[in-house]
Amino acid sequence: MIYPKLAWVMAAIIVLVSKNVQAQSMVSGHVYLADTESPVSDAIVQAWPCGVVFSTSSHGTFNVECSTELDSLTVISYGFTTVTISVDGRSLIDISLIPLSVELNTITISGEIDQSIVRIVPTSDLMQTLDRTPGIRSLDLGAGLIQPVLRGLMGSRIAILDGGVPIVGGRWGQDHGVLVDPALYDGIEWVPGGGHVWLGPNAVGGGVKFSSIHLLRKNGSRTQYGTNYRIGDNRSKVYVLSRLRNKNMQFHVGFSASIFGDRNIPQKTFEYLSRTYEIAGGRLPNTGGTAYHGLAGLIYSTVELGQISLDIRWSNIQQGLFPGIVGIPSQRDLLGDGNIYSVELPNQQASRWLLSSKWIKLGDLNRTFLFSLSGNERIENAPPHAHGYGPKPMTDLSLSLHEYHLFAESKWEGDRGAFGFQAERLRGTTDGWEFLLPNHYRDRVSAIADYKFNSGIFGARIDMISTGNESYSEPLYSINNEVIGEDIRATELNNVTPSWAFSWFQPIDLEKINMSLTASTYTRAPSNYALAANGIHHGTFRFEQGNPDLKPESAFEVRAALSSSSEKFNIEILSFASLHKGFIHITPTASFAPIAHSGQIYSFQATDAFRSGLEVKMNLQIGRGKLATTSSVLGQWALETGLGLPFTSPVDIINSYSHPIDDKLSISLSHRAIAPSYLVARNEDFTKGTSLFGMELKLKMNKSALRIEADNLFNKNWLDHISAYRTLGLVAQGRWVSFSWSYDLHTFNKN
């Protein structure tokens, strides 16, 4: 019986956490980012002269205890300058951190650093934001539908958190992008790898965390706004994010709107199911659209009550879908209508609303309670067509998916660890004439704990997951459109599955090198889609079939992080290796779909797999300039066959050189080399490597910044191996030039 033992372990952790928080005389405070004022979690706070090391909580708070009188604190956080600050008798100290530059002095770190969190620098474009981060790639079907790919995994194999709330809404589809605008958040973090206990059981590839708007540190206001225009797909975007704090209350509101035209591509013909088509005017017709995102919220904070926040977020993206997505197009479908912004059939409308509330109460044990409710809608419209025999549908609604999701997390956090519970409840319904997935549900309850021992950090999570779906059938027609039977597409399913994750984080002290090792083992229950899909998936151009007999997969993963810096040079390396038993992935079968124009059947199968990868980031100061290099290497193999797993991104290296022209103006030249895709899955096409050049000119003034960026300067015709369009032989976006202006206005009351 494993559960009683686990219960004892949990109880021991809770006792240890509680025991450790016996209060002494202390200095407390916050560590936050200087530019965004968002809290810095897991920063090391070392107290002097006693030398005792503490770390900040997920809210950036710390409580430092020392048996002797404190004279100063040193704060160290991965990726930021080290700060030493005098205590001067104060009991409350707030400390701001500035991102690390190459002009750092040598850092000596003597405590534990969570090197597993990577802060992502946002740009004006989500896809570019993701692609610039080593280990992350993005898969897209146009400017509005962008799907993060973390270490080769995507969809329901990664977690995308909006203020701590997992984003759902058909996350299993390559074409189902995440509905977020980075401009309306207080930062983005990437947590690479699987087995992170607080990210939930799906985060095999890790998670991307979009941070909620934080409370301003003083009374006053802060307004950020900006506009952007991109030559290429003629995208225009405006955004504004404003927050106003008066004493204990802060209101914040934000909105962004963008309109984008048909994607520009340097390609004249392409092939689909061996048919050859021409592309008119250098654009993929019907890929334009609009994206709107909104936010309204408030934060109320008092010492007695704690901090209560309420956020309402709303997103809506409407975008045309390239005609080839819903089947074999005719040449005339590809001629466009002369209006690059028009949205014709087929198209997709995706919307999301999220109501979330968080209560944070600081104390001996910091208490956090997060509750959210979200509605996620995805509608695909397509010209009515019947596959095989049967009447032509009467509407354009080919597929609709509604998912309602409830999430709650309760967390107690001490200086040495945390414990808590998560619960979520998802209800999904589908409709439309292109059946893909039946009505489904997924419920989860989890108990989670982590504890910081002197030698390392232990984390554990125990889940109980209930998944299932309704049955579904539709009439079976003869060649004369007469009903001759029933086509059963899904049978009722109800599964209850335990799941777990355990991890050990081990910092290793080496002279001038910061290093840590993490070992984790975890399981993952199959997704609703892997269990019950059975139909043509328009976004992936193939017939996808679930497998109700799938069992949870398990994995053992080892991660290593290493960083070192000197006056002129710094380097960060993240690596991982994981062995997966029964890794669930979609693979081609020997069978063809029983309906026309839908190709081979791809079914979900579980086979053992091995994945490994490396991400490197280096900065070198050369005179006044800076040379930066990032690189990602990824290998994923299905062990039974020795073949690659689908969408294994090839090695890529980005080199950029930035040079200040004067104090405010700087120029950057960049080069991105992508290797050929030597590691491919069965029937996956080999993709040639490519070499792309880019440029950026940045003028940074007091409160505003002007930026001109160019990507794919020579308008190179290249295939992106992990793009959904790769299947059609459609190249990635051609050259674009973007003009951005942003303004960040702080107004704080003097008193």
Partner 1 sequence: MKNLTILFAIAAMTTLFSCGTTDIDPPTICTENVENGISTLDEVDADAGTTVTLLESFCDDEGLGELRWDIHSAEGHSHEGEEEEGFVLHSGTDWSVLEIQDLSGSNDVGQFSFDIPNTVRGVWDVVVSFSDAEGNAAADVVTPLHVENDFIPLFTLTDVNGVDPASWSSEQVWEPGSIQTLTGTVEDSDGMVAAEILLISESDESVVWSTVLEVLGASIYDFSVTVEVPESATSGEYHLEMEAEDALGNAMHTGFHLEIE
48, 502, 610, 657: residue in contact with partner 1 (rule CB under 8 A): 610
Site string for partner 1, 634-653 (x = CB under 8 A): ---x-xxxxx----------
Count of residues in contact with partner 1, rule CB under 8 A = 44
Tell whether residue 10 is a contact of partner 1 (CB under 8 A): no
Q: Which of 238, 328, 355, 423 binds partner 1 (CB under 8 A)?
A: 328
Q: Three-state SS for 471?
A: coil
Quote the CA–CA distance of 18 and 13 in Å, as a whole number: 8
- Residue span binding partner 1 (CB under 8 A) among the ranges 19-27, 101-109, 335-343, 468-476: 335-343
Instruction: Give me the 564-593 binding string for partner 1, x by CB under 8 A, dash otherwise.
Output: -------------x-x-------xxxxxx-
Range 525-564, binding partner 1 (CB under 8 A): 558
Answer yes or no whether residue 599 interacts with partner 1 by CB under 8 A: yes
- Closest approach of partner 1 to the CB of residue 396, in Å: 13
Amino acid at 475: P
Among 335, 483, 488, 701, binds partner 1 (CB under 8 A): 335
Beta bridge partners of 225: 240, 743
SS3 sequence of 228-242: EEEECCCEEEEEEEE
According to CB under 8 A, which residues from 671 to 700 bind partner 1? 682-683
Q: Rounded to the nearest whole angstrom, what is the least distance from the CB of residue 363 to partner 1 in the complex?
A: 40
Contact 644, 610 (CB under 8 A): no
Which residue's CB is nearer to partner 1, number 395 or number 751? Answer: 395
Taking the least distance from each CB to partner 1, the nearer of 497 and 717 is 717
DSSP 708-749: EEEESTT------TTSGGGGGTPPPP--EEEEEEEEEEEEE-
Q: How far is the C-alpha of 423 from the C-alpha of 6, rounded, in Å?
A: 19
Nearer to partner 1, 62 or 543 (CB): 543
- Based on the shown chain and the rule CB under 8 A, indicate whether residue 274 belongs to the binding site for partner 1: yes
Span 495-514, contacts to partner 1 by CB under 8 A: 508, 510
CB 685, min distance to partner 1, A: 11
Q: Does 332 sit near partner 1 (CB under 8 A)?
A: yes
Applying CB under 8 A, does 331 fall inside the site for partner 1? yes
Pairing of strands 53-55, 83-86: unpaired
Tell me which residue of 492, 404, 409 sits closest to 442, measured CA to CA: 404
Rank residues 210 and 270 by Cβ distance to partner 1 and give the closer one.
270
Q: Does 273 bind partner 1 (CB under 8 A)?
A: yes
Cα–Cα distance between 279 and 272 in angstroms, integer?
12
Distance (Å, rounded) from C-alpha 108 to C-alpha 510? 10
Least spacing, CB of residue 388 vs partner 1, in Å:
6
- 338 contributes a contact to partner 1 by CB under 8 A: yes
Site for partner 1 in 39-68 (CB under 8 A): none
Write down the least CB distance from residue 571 to partner 1, Å: 17
**Member of 342, 473, 612, 717 binding partner 1 (CB under 8 A):** 612
Instruction: Write down the least CB distance from residue 285 to partner 1, Å.
Output: 13
Give the span between the Cα atoms of 668 and 402, in whole angstroms: 44
By C-alpha distance, which of 179, 354, 325, 187 is closest to 263?
325
> Least separation, in Å, of the C-beta of 544 and partner 1?
14
For partner 1, give the closer residue by CB, 121 or 335: 335
Strands (E), 362-416: 366-381, 397-413
Interface with partner 1, residue 105, by CB under 8 A:
no
Confirm or reject binding of residue 596 to partner 1 (CB under 8 A).
yes
In three-state form (DSSP H/G/I as H, E/B as E, the rest C), the secondary structure along 30-92 is EEEECCCCCECCCCEEEEECCCCEEECCCCCEEEEECCCCCCEEEEECCCECCEEEECCCCCE
Residue 622 is a binding residue for partner 1 (CB under 8 A): no
Taking CA 461 as the corner, what is the angle to CA 457 and CA 462, rounded to the nearest 5 degrees?
A: 150
How long is the chain? Answer: 751
When the beta carbons of 275 and 664 are compared against partner 1, the nearer one is: 275
- For residues 192-204, one letter each, b for 16 or more C-beta atoms within 10 angstroms of the residue's C-beta and e for the rest, the string is bbbbbbbbbbbbb
Q: Which residue has the tokens 């998936």?
A: 537
Specify the 3-state DSSP secondary structure of 539.
helix
Distances (CA, A) of 357 to 307, 408, 715: 10, 10, 46
Q: How far is the CB of 257 from partner 1 (least distance, A)?
A: 28
CB of 678 to partner 1, least distance (A): 13
List residues bridging with 632 in a β-sheet.
Answer: 615, 652
484 binds partner 1 per the rule CB under 8 A: no
Q: Fill in the DSSP letter of residue 130.
A: H
Site string for partner 1, 388-427 (x = CB under 8 A): x---------------------------------------
Q: Which residues bind partner 1 (CB under 8 A)?
A: 271, 273-277, 328-333, 335, 337-338, 388, 508, 510, 517, 558, 577, 579, 587-592, 594-597, 599-600, 610, 612, 637, 639-643, 682-683
